[in-house]
Structure 1
Amino acid sequence: MSIEIESEDVIRLILQFLKENKFDHALSTLEEETSITLNTMDSKDAFVQDIVQGRWDTVLKQVAKLKIAPRKLLDLYEQVVLELVEMREISAARTLLRQTEPMEILKNQHPERYLHLEHVMSRTIFDTKDAYPHGMTKEKRRQIIAQALTDEVTVVQPSRLLSLLDQCAKWQQHQGLLPPGTEFDAFKDSATIQTEQEDAFASKQYSKIKFPGTGTYAECTAFSPNGQYLVTGSVDGFIEIWNYLNGKLRKDLKYQAENSLMAMDESVICLNFSKDTELLASGSTDGKIAIWKVQSGYCQRRFSPAHSQGVTSVCFNKDGSQILSGSYDQTIKIHGTRSGKALKEFKGHTSFVNSVLYSTDNLHIFSGSSDGTVKVWNIDTETCLHTIECGSTNHPLLAVQSLVLLPNVTDQVLICNKSNTLSILCGDGTISKRFSHNIKSGSDFVAAAISPQGELVYGLGEDYELYCFNASTGILVGNLKIADTEAIGLAGHPFSNVLASNDDAGNIYLLKA
């Protein structure tokens, strides 16, 4: 569900804020620049009483700041002239009649009414029957004018702008856009609205997403950089965005509320958000890549195909102008998101490329392959700088399942390969740390994740056992049996102790500390 707010209403909220805080110069400047008036008053009752009691000096001052229909404004000025004449304030009545814009309009458009006022003013005695139509009195005329003018304006509750901002923040928390306890800062963008949490083992399942039907499950999951979205790509080609706090589909996105989901022709096996969370890239088993507008669900660009075989991994560069991809066809490519063309190609792996990442400075590329190696590439020259063999003494080349860039450090990558050991690779091609659960077989890692501050390392075993290691010491902090199904993937929230894990039975388990 989405609503549209008129830009004029937004300006009026700002005008009211300026008025309440006595920023008179800023108020008049904004009204002049935009040609938009506030058209509100503090109290309709007080305004009506001023008219009924004939306090015309107060009424005219208020009306001067309001946008009133010309017809009603003429009626008001006509009544004021008549009452000034009745009080024998002939000089004031003459000035109002001959030197004000509404009376000039009356003279041009309704000359008979204007001449009637001149006639009444010229007489030495004020005659009510001559001044007002048959059956009309001064009191009745005031009531009619009061009703007509109050229909033109609205009363706005004090501090309306701040109240709406407060309601907006509460609604976002209710929808899961802001985690509970988040300190809301209206001058930060959504990507920086976050709570600082100390890293802790996410060992408690608090929700579960279950895909309907049989044979339908999520092939991949990802959290957005701003922490608001959990996205899934399914075996049947659908891409869905979820509220990770309650495990429900995000219906605040209009296209999802209307059941018009983002979708690809074949299974979606990789997803990645742009750094500002505005774009989402998806790759499928038929070698295609699509780039979507997250807020609208609109497909901005398709690479069809991007590779000759399935796209296993995608990654945006810092400004979202390029997309990096790896494929079953053993190649790595960089594509221009605006041009829709392949810009660079990197060859050297001898098996599937399962994971690709940009370095922190976007000058290098990390790639992990089923050939058991991780390679570091120079983007400019398209040459391989380092090749790291991932394995053990008995098994020197074990397939690399995934790569995860470590937060808060430069160019350090967590390597998950088909073994009982996770490794941290530095940009110079050296392994700095290893983490192992020391189980000989049956629990090789299939996926990995990092805690928000980088103090904990998670590894997900093929037996669906989750292992948590201290990143500094390498010590096993704890482990957790998530389910008895076959594990597929693991995703970590960017700044909360939350994990999402998907299996082949159509479940996504949501865990928190």
Structure 2
Amino acid sequence: MATNGNTMEIESSDVIRLIQQFLKENNLLNSLAALQEETTVALNTVDSVEAFSTEILQGHWDNVLKTVAQLKIPDKKLMDLYEQIVIELVELRELGTARTLLRQTNPTQLLRDQFPDRYLHLEHLLSRSHFDAKDAYPNGLPKEKRRQIIAQALSSEVTVVAPSRLLTLLGQSLKFQEQQGMLPPDSAYDLFRGTVPVVQAETDDVPSKCYNTIKFPKKQHAECVTFSPNGQYLVTGSMDGFIEVWNYLTAKLRKDLKYQAEDNLMAMESAVLCLGFSKDSEMLASGAQDGRIKIWKVQTGQCLRRYSPAHQGGVTSVCFSPDGTQVLSASFDLTVRLHGLKSGKMLKEFRGHTSYVNHASFSLDGSQILSSSSDGTVKVWDYKTASCLRSFSPHDGTGTIAGAAGLTVNSCIPYPKPNQILVCMKSPTAYLLTLEGEPIRKFISPESATEGATKDTSTSAEGGVKKDAPVSLTDYVGLSLSPQAEIVYCLAENSQVHCFYADTGKLIKSIPIAEGEVIGMASHPLSNVLAVNTVDGRVLLWKA
């Protein structure tokens, strides 16, 4: 092992020995033998050097041979050992065993080839009718002295390793990463995949407390925030162009990602307005104020593709196609565009909106494109032909058309039931609609009462404000779904999140989620966690 600056280099042979020790401790001896043969790296460890030496000194040759069979010992020392055992077997008149050991083992065959005189001496001993110790043992050394020499020679070839060394080192490594903020404290860890397992919540529940906060420098607030589909990453895109990956439990920058540990962050040339993950969570698309889009490999921070520019105006929305081969984007330039990941070129353009396009996504089955615009409409497009199939303004079923009042449609996302979509507008009402625009359900802000109405807003444990204040309409700026789609979260301009039952539209609870002005919100795909980004430079993390 060597160190070079802050980098510690580990010998590959040491890693192999750690694995071999693990195999030995778990009695996987065939695997151990195969690994030693394939790598030519020998483990050469014993539980106790003293015990190994004692076995030799006492002549417990069965145990010694079992131990030696798992070790890599120099040929000369093995020849000395086997020569001694053959002589002692002859002394005990166990001539059959001595003859087998002499004629059918590798060390004695090497002895025959390299030291024929010593080999013939052993054959001569076997043929005699009596045993003479002085003549039998080489150089006139007594048996006990010979055992001492062999014990010392073999003991020098072996070492003792603390039990469970591999698991201990891995545990210490994870503990260090936890202390450095690379891993969340007191959590399980998938060592094979290199991830913290995220278990889907058994039931959906509304967030009840703010458990952590990410803070950004002044005027560098996070303009967008998103979770990866596998729940491993929380990513922010900032006004200064930086894209950062966070541990959503500790609110610390993920330093286990090498590029972030080296302060080599993913970045755009202007403010990052939107982010979108591929379905497998391996790629990230980012759209910027200058109309550019970049595609990143999250694990390495490598930029895989650039679209410069993708639009003539700021990019308001980016998402991957279900198969991950294309990127869909919306823009202030009134268009929706589809880009090829492999070709790096625009494949299709969807034109027809008369104002900013705020959001675009694929339908549940991927056959249609949904777009939302400040012109008050939702448009449904044919994915293959880029033709507009229908355009509608969300309404409540009574003839009141939201779009007629020029209300901006902020976003439109597929609801996890065929032919249904959730629509967020700049109004106190969000809608569940069919893809034909027919209303199914409404999610109405509890504060959207008649203009001038009052309510008890005295300060309480649940975050109320002053008593008998006039209630103003509170428009929604964004919405999202709980992991199992049982709850619809609607983020309002007054920094409250209204939580509704998805199947009834009934309000569950309103949460005063921030003090300052809110920008957007993202919900964790597997846990009851919300991330809300604010103008004052914070990302607030709430959990049930």
> TM-score normalized by structure 2?
0.78
Cα-to-partner distance string for 1:284-339 (whole Å, 9 max, x where unaligned): 11222222222222222222222232221111122322221112222222222233
State, as a whole percentage, how many aligned pairs show the same letter: 42
Which residue does 1:491 correspond to in 2?
522
Alignment of 1:114-263 (within 5 A): 115-116=117-118, 118-119=120-121, 122=124, 125-127=132-134, 130-131=138-139, 137-151=145-159, 154=161, 156-157=163-164, 193-212=198-217, 214-263=218-267
Q: CA–CA distance in 2 between the matches of 1:180 and 1:100?
A: 54
Q: CA–CA distance in 2 between the matches of 1:192 and 1:83?
A: 55
Q: 2:341 aligns with which of 314, 333, 337?
A: 337
Closer, same or farther: CA 339–191 of 1 in aligned 2, 3 Å: farther
8 Å CA contact 2:190–2:196 kept in 1: the answer is: no
SS in 1 for 2:541: strand
Structure 1 or 2, whichever has the larger Rg, is: 2
Q: 2:422 aligns with which of 401, 414, 438?
A: 414
Q: CA–CA distance in 2 between the matches of 1:509 and 1:116?
A: 82
**What residue identity is the alignment partner of 2:420?**
Q
Cα-to-partner distance string for 1:204-248 (whole Å, 9 max, x where unaligned): 212111113x21110100011111221101111111111111212
SS in 1 for 2:90: coil
Closer, same or farther: CA 280–42 of 1 in aligned 2, 3 Å: farther
SS in 2 for 1:19: coil
Closer, same or farther: CA 176–75 of 1 in aligned 2, 3 Å: closer
Cα-to-partner distance string for 1:96-132 (whole Å, 9 max, x where unaligned): 4554333445566xx3x55445447647744488448
Closer, same or farther: CA 318–274 of 1 in aligned 2, 3 Å: same
Closer, same or farther: CA 321–10 of 1 in aligned 2, 3 Å: farther
Which residue does 1:326 correspond to in 2?
330
Q: Give, in angstroms, the shift of residue 506 of structure 1.
A: 0.7
Q: CA–CA distance in 2 between the matches of 1:292 and 1:100?
A: 60
**What residue identity is the alignment partner of 1:452?**
P
8 Å CA contact 1:44–1:150 kept in 2: the answer is: no
Closer, same or farther: CA 145–313 of 1 in aligned 2, 3 Å: same
Which residue does 1:482 correspond to in 2?
513
Task: Give yes or no for the alignment of 1:423 onto 2:431.
Answer: yes
Which residue does 1:436 correspond to in 2?
444
**What residue identity is the alignment partner of 1:143?**
A
Q: 2:360 aligns with which of 356, 360, 379?
A: 356
SS in 2 for 1:137: helix
Q: Give, in angstroms, the shift of residue 351 of structure 1.
A: 1.9
Q: Give, in angstroms, the shift of residue 5 of structure 1.
A: 11
Q: CA–CA distance in 2 between the matches of 1:36 and 1:145?
A: 21
8 Å CA contact 1:40–1:154 kept in 2: the answer is: no
Q: CA–CA distance in 2 between the matches of 1:249 and 1:189?
A: 16
**What residue identity is the alignment partner of 2:267?**
A
Which residue does 1:80 correspond to in 2?
82
Which residue does 2:481 correspond to in 1?
450
Q: Give, in angstroms, the shift of residue 468 of structure 1.
A: 1.8
Q: Give, in angstroms, the shift of residue 87 of structure 1.
A: 4.7
Q: Give, in angstroms, the shift of residue 383 of structure 1.
A: 1.6
Q: 2:496 aligns with which of 453, 465, 486?
A: 465
Closer, same or farther: CA 145–191 of 1 in aligned 2, 3 Å: closer
**What residue identity is the alignment partner of 2:65?**
L
Task: Give yes or no for the alignment of 1:504 onto 2:509.
Answer: no
Q: CA–CA distance in 1 between the matches of 2:524 and 2:67?
A: 54
Q: Give, in angstroms, the shift of residue 271 of structure 1.
A: 0.9
Task: Give yes or no for the alignment of 1:404 onto 2:413.
Answer: yes
Closer, same or farther: CA 34–240 of 1 in aligned 2, 3 Å: same
8 Å CA contact 2:377–2:409 kept in 1: the answer is: yes
Which residue does 2:268 correspond to in 1?
264
Which residue does 2:460 correspond to in 1?
none
Q: CA–CA distance in 1 between the matches of 2:141 and 2:304?
A: 67
Closer, same or farther: CA 274–114 of 1 in aligned 2, 3 Å: farther
**What residue identity is the alignment partner of 2:107?**
P
Q: CA–CA distance in 2 between the matches of 1:98 and 1:248?
A: 68
Q: CA–CA distance in 1 between the matches of 2:194 and 2:364?
A: 21
How many residue pairs match? The answer is 496
8 Å CA contact 1:197–1:495 kept in 2: the answer is: no
**What residue identity is the alignment partner of 1:399?**
T
8 Å CA contact 1:82–1:131 kept in 2: the answer is: no
Which residue does 2:296 correspond to in 1?
292
Q: Give, in angstroms, the shift of residue 78 of structure 1.
A: 1.7
**What residue identity is the alignment partner of 2:164?**
Q
**What residue identity is the alignment partner of 1:286?**
D
Closer, same or farther: CA 320–511 of 1 in aligned 2, 3 Å: same
> TM-score normalized by structure 1?
0.83
8 Å CA contact 2:112–2:119 kept in 1: the answer is: no
**What residue identity is the alignment partner of 1:479?**
S
**What residue identity is the alignment partner of 2:253?**
L
Closer, same or farther: CA 249–36 of 1 in aligned 2, 3 Å: same
Closer, same or farther: CA 186–424 of 1 in aligned 2, 3 Å: farther
- Greater shift in the superposed pair: 226-235 or 340-349: 340-349
Task: Give yes or no for the alignment of 1:383 onto 2:382.
Answer: no
Q: CA–CA distance in 2 between the matches of 1:396 and 1:179?
A: 51
**What residue identity is the alignment partner of 1:62?**
T
8 Å CA contact 1:185–1:193 kept in 2: the answer is: no
Task: Give yes or no for the alignment of 1:62 onto 2:70.
Answer: no
Q: CA–CA distance in 2 between the matches of 1:133 and 1:219?
A: 86
- Greater shift in the superposed pair: 324-333 or 29-38: 29-38
Closer, same or farther: CA 13–54 of 1 in aligned 2, 3 Å: closer
Q: Give, in angstroms, the shift of residue 50 of structure 1.
A: 2.7
Q: Give, in angstroms, the shift of residue 343 of structure 1.
A: 2.4
Q: Give, in angstroms, the shift of residue 43 of structure 1.
A: 2.7
Gaps of 5+ in 2: 1-5, 126-130, 452-471
- Greater shift in the superposed pair: 388-397 or 2-11: 2-11
**What residue identity is the alignment partner of 2:200?**
T
Q: CA–CA distance in 2 between the matches of 1:292 and 1:393?
A: 41
Q: CA–CA distance in 2 between the matches of 1:8 and 1:323?
A: 43
8 Å CA contact 1:85–1:126 kept in 2: the answer is: no
Closer, same or farther: CA 402–47 of 1 in aligned 2, 3 Å: farther
8 Å CA contact 2:495–2:514 kept in 1: the answer is: yes
